[in-house]
């Protein structure tokens, strides 16, 4: 299949299949972890391919402590505890090509992003 006509077909499904979240998750801290990504053009799998992508997994330090007096006063004595939380997040991305096999011995390619580096950073709802 010519690559020019393939993009219209590829706005289908991207399925993420965890590939053995076993012992690596026990490593302390925030780090890269491989997992298998299966890309399909449609539910029938007319075109499909797979790639071992990277995700950020692990944990980061968080803490909670009594609020300062100025915080208590400003909050009308409602904010008794102040917490600082960090989450394991992607700090760098890499674009990779996934080769797709299509019905009738045709081929195509699709670019996806995978994590290149991880770090502990402030937790933000927009990321998760």
Q: Compute CA distances 24 → 54, 81, 118, whole Å.
A: 12, 34, 15
Tens of pLDDT, residues 41-93: 777 778 889 999 999 999 998 899 999 999 999 999 999 999 888 999 999 99
Q: What one-character DSSP code corresponds to residue 42?
A: S
Tens of pLDDT, residues 6-55: 443 333 334 444 444 444 445 679 999 999 988 887 777 788 899 999 99
Domains in the chain with CATH codes: 6-60+88-122 (2.10.90)
Torsion of CA 90, 95, 99, 103, to 10 degrees: 80
Tens of pLDDT, residues 114-128: 999 999 998 877 555
């Amino acid at each position: 299949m010519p690559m020019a006509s393939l993009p219209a077909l590829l706005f289908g499904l991207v399925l993420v299949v965890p590939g053995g979240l076993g012992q690596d998750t026990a490593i302390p801290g925030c780090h890269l972890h491989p997992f298998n990504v299966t890309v399909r053009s449609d539910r029938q799998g007319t075109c499909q391919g797979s790639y071992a992508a990277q995700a950020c997994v692990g944990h980061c330090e968080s803490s909670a402590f009594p609020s300062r007096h100025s915080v208590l006063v400003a909050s009308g004595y409602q904010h008794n505890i102040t917490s600082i939380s960090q989450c394991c997040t992607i700090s760098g991305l890499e674009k990779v090509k996934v080769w797709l096999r299509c019905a009738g011995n045709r081929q195509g390619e699709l670019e996806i992003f995978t994590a290149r580096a991880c770090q502990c950073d402030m937790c933000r709802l927009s990321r998760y």
